[in-house]
Structure 1
Amino acid sequence: MSASTAKRGILPPDIEARKGGTPLVVLTAYTTPVAKLVDAHCDVALVGDSLGMVVYGLPSTLAVTMDMMIAHGQAVMRGLTRAMCVIDLPFGSFEESPAQAFRNASRLLAETGAAAVKLEGGVHMAETIAFLTARGVPVMAHIGLTPQAVNALGGYKVQGRGEDAARVLADAKAVADAGAFAVVLEKVPQRLAREITEAVAIPTIGIGAGKDCDGQVLVADDMLGMFTDFRPKFVKRFGNLAEVADRAIADYAAEVRARSFPAPEHSFDT
């Protein structure tokens, strides 16, 4: 197959061109098997730093490292043929300076093969986003509730209510003007998300931001119902895998204790 006819996956310009079109579908993925499932149905597989909480049981995303993001990014890339892979820059890897951000972003892309990075922050990160995009690093921005700043924000609160809406709108315009190809709006009022979506030329991807964004993102484990004790208002459970897994593990344990597993069909003759 020639280079001109070889199939390629989705890239940042394809995402940016979807502004105002068919909504973009984004899910997190941290492993190869989940990446394969996401690849079949979604436009973007996001290797979020939420893996710190979902995979490692950490209390927040703050302890996630570059090495963790790279290892999971590599695993996800092995499962993708079509969907675009975006990887979060973890806390402490980009805030110091644009040069630090470029050093770590280029490492993420080089060592994983992902198409883009995502970083949190609005007006104060615009210079960094412009620095990265000018040097060939596609950036997905993330504003509103930014989990890496959860302590400064006073918890996982809705952002942009009342007079605070102007701040979030300014953040959206700043990251778009700086060259981000898309922006995640997390936990902002639906009216504000709609206003931002109309005000910026790049796609908005909502999580807890209502239906008027250009796309939606959820943590896969949340929408699959892998957790029984965590259910944010903005998450719809499209499955209940925790219940299915619990029942299967209970059946396995019972059969082992009853010596009914392994049965003859699971054993080898001499």
Structure 2
Amino acid sequence: MYHNRPHVEDIRAMKKRGEKISMLFVTTPEEAAAAAAAGIHMLSIEGRFFDAEMREAAGDCFVQVGLPYGGWGRFEGRPIATAEDYLRAAFHYAGIGGDAYYCAASYDIQKVLCDNHLPVVGHIGLIPSYITWTGWRAVGKTAGEAEALWRHTRKLEEIGVFGAELEVVPDRVAKFLTENSSLVMLGMGAGRYADAQYLFTEDVCGYGRNHKPRHGKVYRNFAPELERLQAERIAAFREFKADVESGGYPGPEHTVPIRDDEFDAFLNSVKG
């Protein structure tokens, strides 16, 4: 597949040069196309949303595809559990045009992907799929936790991981991890020193209905317009329902006609 979008080596080169990387989480082709038009460097797209249409819409953006994790998602109709499951999913998305693969599974599974020359993005800090062990809070605010993050970082490097989502950790800890690791650190609530700044489109555009994270920033508030459109959608549906019940729809302009002689011939044929 020939294209102009960056490769892993290009993203690594940006880190070495100290260039800041922009990254968005998108879920629709419209969001992906807007990100591409805006020149966003990297996109994160969950596997359940990633298909040929999304890859086309993403244009020259580097796309990280999120592999389903255990009960959090399914691939080919079944939960992802074994290294073989992850490998099958990753190669499937590679065939569509994925550039890297987010995987929050165990070290041994991540290593299998790396050993098969797939660019893997791990996770450091607040990891949603492990949330029962930490709760929804910043991770790394004590010396012991910060040291554990460093050990985790070194382990990811050791098994060949390319980058890591660095989520909700203190900025000075994030700075140390970023500057002392070859991993491309994709910061989400990790301060200004991470290699990339990563936000969800729903936060950037103000239409998220979930908890608003501290690190989120609204650049445009789509919520009122989306609410207006939803109200208009409901009104249109109600008018359609009323039209159906009153006989106002369909009208002659919505109906396919047939000439009288053809219809008479049809009736004579079937009745004969």
Q: Same fold (TM over 0.5)?
A: yes
Please, which runs of 5 or more residues in structure 2 have no aligned partner?
240-252, 254-272
Q: CA RMSD in A?
A: 2.9
Contact 1:173 1:199 in 2 (8 A): no
Q: TM-score, normalised by structure 2?
A: 0.75
Contact 1:205 1:214 in 2 (8 A): yes
Q: Which residue of 1 aligns with 2:140?
A: 160
CA–CA distance in structure 2, aligned partners of residues 133 and 91 of structure 1: 17
Match among 165, 179, 182 for residue 163 of structure 2:
182
Q: Which residue of 2 aligns with 1:34?
A: 31
CA–CA distance in structure 2, aligned partners of residues 251 and 101 of structure 1: 43
- Say whether 1:43 aligns with 2:41: yes
Distance 1:75 1:157, change over 3 A: farther
- What is the percent sequence identity of the aligned residues? 23
- Say whether 1:17 aligns with 2:16: no
Distance 1:171 1:134, change over 3 A: same
TM-aligned CA deviation for residue 233 of structure 1:
0.8
Equivalent positions of 1:76-95 (< 5 A) are 76-92=54-70
Please, which runs of 5 or more residues in structure 1 have no aligned partner?
49-68, 259-269
Contact 1:204 1:213 in 2 (8 A): yes
Contact 2:27 2:49 in 1 (8 A): no
CA–CA distance in structure 2, aligned partners of residues 71 and 29 of structure 1: 9
CA–CA distance in structure 2, aligned partners of residues 220 and 200 of structure 1: 28
Q: Decide which structure has the larger Cα Rg and report it.
A: 2
- Say whether 1:218 aligns with 2:214: no
Letter in 1 for 2:13: A
CA–CA distance in structure 1, aligned partners of residues 85 and 91 of structure 2: 10
Q: Which residue of 2 aligns with 1:108?
A: 93
CA–CA distance in structure 2, aligned partners of residues 175 and 75 of structure 1: 32
Distance 1:228 1:135, change over 3 A: closer
CA–CA distance in structure 1, aligned partners of residues 132 and 238 of structure 2: 47
Equivalent positions of 1:117-266 (< 5 A) are 117-120=101-104, 124-125=106-107, 127-153=108-134, 155-162=135-142, 163-227=144-208, 230-250=211-231
Q: State the SS of the aligned residue for 2:151.
A: helix
How many residue pairs end up in the alignment? 233
Q: State the SS of the aligned residue for 2:15.
A: coil
Distance 1:100 1:229, change over 3 A: closer
Q: TM-score, normalised by structure 1?
A: 0.76
CA–CA distance in structure 2, aligned partners of residues 71 and 176 of structure 1: 28
Letter in 1 for 2:204: M
TM-aligned CA deviation for residue 46 of structure 1:
0.6
